[in-house]
């Protein structure tokens, strides 16, 4: 028994529009990079254009394969529900974002748009010359999503830089004052004084902290003077 959540069904009341033959569709799709396909009432691929070659497939090897077999497992139920809603007239002119699998099983993000068409059959009985088809276009949006992710990363990293710069500025003055006072007190204190070693340790730790702050200042100046992007920043820190 098929899993209901991933089964494509067709209602008798579905609204349809008439389309031309698969040959016309193939000709029209030759010059586009989007994946254009048609599946039958069972979800089996009856046409898919050459754009699938970009993802490792050959169009002929996908013939008669279920379209849901190309969808990532996490998105199968969502895709099935979407197609059923299109088929049964529940929604119209809407798209969804899903992940499709390449031949080597890598996820690529796509925007999927489907509609219903009627295809003329080869039957001589003109009263039965209508074949139900689901027509779909899958648009690769992986670069768009990557750009949005990079922009979010840059914004987050810029906030981190601003916070670090502010922290360095706020720490530098009290550390400088602490070092100055400790050095002044050490210069006027006998080495056998019980507080001498403790004060000396405070001075050493303050000096280490000052060195860290100076290094952070240099790093921030180096990064912000360059046109940074993404992973290039990480390599410089």
Give the integer Cα–Cα distance in Å for 80 and 75.
Answer: 9
Q: CA 23, 92, 89: angle at the middle one, nearest 5?
A: 90
Confidence at residue 122, expressed as pLDDT on a 0 to 100 scale: 59
pTM here? Answer: 0.55
Confidence at residue 106, expressed as pLDDT on a 0 to 100 scale: 94
| CA nearest to 221, candidates 168, 154, 153, 175 | 168
CB 102 within 8 A of CB 52: no
The parts of the chain modelled with pLDDT lower than 50 are 1-2, 4, 11-21, 24-25, 28-29, 31, 127, 227-237
Q: CA 63, 65, 69: angle at the middle one, nearest 5?
A: 140
């Amino acid at each position: 028994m098929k899993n209901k959540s991933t089964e494509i069904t067709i209602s008798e009341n579905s609204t349809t529009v008439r389309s031309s033959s698969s040959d016309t569709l193939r000709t029209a799709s030759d010059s586009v990079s989007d994946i254009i396909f048609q599946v039958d009432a069972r979800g089996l691929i009856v046409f898919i254009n050459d754009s699938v070659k970009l993802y490792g497939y050959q169009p002929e090897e996908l013939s008669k394969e279920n379209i849901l077999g190309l969808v990532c497992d996490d998105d199968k139920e969502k895709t099935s529900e979407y197609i059923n809603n299109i088929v049964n007239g529940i929604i119209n002119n809407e798209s969804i974002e899903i992940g499709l699998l390449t031949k080597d099983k890598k996820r690529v993000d796509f925007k999927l748009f489907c509609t219903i068409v009627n295809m003329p059959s080869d039957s001589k009985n003109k009263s039965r010359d209508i074949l139900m088809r689901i027509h779909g276009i899958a648009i690769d949006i992986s670069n768009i999503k990557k750009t949005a992710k990079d922009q979010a990363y840059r914004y987050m990293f810029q906030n981190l830089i601003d916070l670090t710069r502010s922290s360095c500025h706020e720490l530098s003055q009290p550390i400088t004052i602490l070092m100055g006072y400790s050095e002044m007190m050490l210069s006027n204190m006998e080495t056998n004084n019980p507080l001498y070693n403790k004060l000396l340790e405070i001075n050493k730790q303050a000096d280490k902290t000052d060195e860290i702050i100076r290094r952070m200042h240099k790093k921030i100046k180096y990064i912000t003077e360059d046109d940074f992007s993404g992973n290039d920043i990480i390599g410089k820190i």
